[in-house]
Amino acid sequence: MAYFKLPLGVQDLLPDECYNLNVIKAKLTALFEGAGYRFVSTAILDYYDTYSDIRNKIPQEKMFKMTDVDGSLLVLRPDMTLSVCRMAAKLKEKRTKLAYFSNIWNARESGGISAREVLQGGVEMLGVSGAYADAEMIALAIECGMALGLQDFILDIGHVGFFKGILRESGLSSEETEEVRRFVNAKDIIGAQRIVGDSKAKEAILALPTLFGGVEVIDRAERLTDCEASLEALRHLREVYELLVRFGYEKYISIDLGTVKSLSYYSGVVFTGLSGVIGASVLSGGRYDALANEFGSDFPAVGFAVGLKRVLIALERQGDLVKAPAAECCVIAEPHCEAEAYAFCLSLRKKGKRAELFHGEREEAMRSGMQVYLVGKEGGRLL
């Protein structure tokens, strides 16, 4: 076995990638903290039962599993929203805004854009519900895309209540419902039709993959069903859309009622951020009002996560990555003046310069393109 190779789906980040990743994090940190979010960090290891013995469980084949010394089954953190909800259930304050930068692990992904180790930055607004809160969260997601400089950035917005409402009328089993959901997400009308057959909600279900575009999509959807739950979802979605228009973000949003998330815990508005240069989402989120119940608490919540590696890929394809800055000056010590050189180097750093001690030959330093200081007992001078 070649031990210098990495397992499929994970990768190292080289200096330029790490530098640009830190730039991305700095921009997101400024946005998150400016909007009142406080950063948290959740445990990397958790009990398997935390994610498998709940109603909104994560499939066991998606989790990296290991055994603790006492025989307990552990997993690498597979989902940040569940992890934050588990932690937040212990907080006394039920109205709060939390942010994070974390990795999650998905054992089923294979690599490339769909990596097994996923770098994320995200926010969760807990204890607040309503269209205004949803619009605020979506607006922050749009501001992330703008601040990161993503070209042709757009946010697709839907509402799972519309999909869930018409499915309740369809009479399909839970297994059939999940198959339909996968076909709808893939915009596969033929596949969905094979499952739906002649059910009561056939027309509405088969229309789902085509229900994307401007606000007129909501008008079309309203004519497809008389299910009150679905109609209420559309009314809420329209209110969110109108608020975003008033915020000035109309050009960044589109309606997509075929956006049906794979995680069952979503309960309301859902949204996906897309960039024109990458064939996958760079941001994803939505409302999950019942999720805290899994951990013995009760509060509404909405949030989203940014895929940091996917943002890096998008910026690379745009030609917007920058090289990590090297040292701008170096310090050479004359014989027996190492301590003086070190002190001089520190003084340069305090002035904001990127300075390093140089350990090679003086001629090599002169060819480096850096400012070169020679330090002796009397001090330093620029060569």
Q: What is the pLDDT of residue 112?
A: 57
pLDDT score recorded for residue 17: 94
Gap between the Cα atoms of 142 and 312, Å rounded: 17
Whether residue 110 has pLDDT greater than 60: no
- For 98, the token pair is 């939390």
Predicted pLDDT at 196: 73
Residue count of the chain, please give it. Answer: 383
The per-residue pLDDT for range 52-86, each reduced to its tens digit, is 877 777 888 888 999 999 999 999 999 999 999 88
The percent of residues in the chain predicted with pLDDT above 90, rounded, is 60
Q: Measure CA 345 to chain center.
A: 40
Structure confidence by residue, pLDDT tens digits, 298-307: 889 999 999 9
Whether the predicted pLDDT of 190 surpasses 90: no
Q: Is residue 362 classed as helix, strand or coil in its secondary structure?
A: helix
Alpha-carbon distance 123 to 102, whole Å? 11
pLDDT at position 197 over 90: no
Residues 15, 322: contact at Cβ < 8 Å?
no
Of 159, 160, 162, whose CA–CA distance to 240 is shortest?
Answer: 159
Q: Any residues with CB less than 8 A from the CB of 120 and at least 6 apart, and which?
A: 80, 100, 101, 102, 103, 104, 305, 306, 307, 308
30-39, 146-155, 261-270: lowest mean pLDDT where? 261-270
> Structure tokens of 5?
């190779």
CB atoms within 10 A of CB 64: 14
Class of domain 15-318: alpha beta
Give the residue with greater pLDDT, 50 vs 242.
242
pTM for this model (two decimals)? 0.90
Question: Exposed, middle or buried: residue 246 (CB in 10 Å: 0-12, 13-18, 19+)?
Answer: exposed
Which two three-digit tokens encode residue 296?
Answer: 């013995």
Summarize the confidence of residues 18-39 as an average pLDDT. 97
Average the pLDDT over 153-163 and give the result. 93
- In the chain, domain spans: 15-318, 329-382
Burial-class residue 237 by CB neighbours within 10 Å (0-12, 13-18, 19+).
buried
Which residue in 168, 146, 205, 152 sits closest to 28, CA to CA?
Answer: 146
Rounded Cα gap, residues 93 and 68, in angstroms = 32
Contact assessment for residue 70 and residue 62, using Cβ atoms and an 8 Å cutoff = no
* Weakest mean pLDDT among 45-49, 360-364, 370-374: 360-364
3-class secondary structure, 239: helix
From CA 217, how far away is CA 182, in angstroms rounded? 21
The predicted structure's pLDDT at residue 114: 67
Least confident residue range of 85-89, 193-197, 207-211, 302-306:
193-197
Distance, in Å, from the CA atom of 66 to the CA atom of 73, rounded to the nearest integer, reads: 6
Q: How far apart are CA 168 and CA 350, in angstroms?
A: 66
pLDDT bracket for residue 199 (50, 70, 90): low
pLDDT grade for 204, boundaries at 50, 70 and 90: confident
> What mean pLDDT comes out for the span 331-358?
94
Q: Residue holding tokens 């692990």?
A: 105
CA gap 217, 296 in Å, rounded: 38
Most confident of 11-15, 351-355, 365-369: 351-355
pLDDT at res. 372: 93
Backbone angles phi, psi at 225, to 5 degrees: -150, 155
CA distances from 26 to 101, 147, 367 (A): 11, 11, 34
Contacts of 153 (CB under 8 A, 6+ apart): 142, 145, 146, 252, 273, 274, 275, 276
Closest to 10 measured CA to CA, from 145, 122, 114: 114
Residue 111 DSSP class: B
Q: What one-character DSSP code corresponds to residue 240?
A: H
Q: Please state, for a pLDDT cut of 70, what percent of the chain lies above it.
A: 96
How much is the mean pLDDT over the chain? 89
Instruction: Specify the pLDDT at position 338.
Output: 94
Q: What b-and-e string marks burial along 219-229, b requiring 16 or more CB atoms within 10 Å of the CB?
A: eebeebbebee
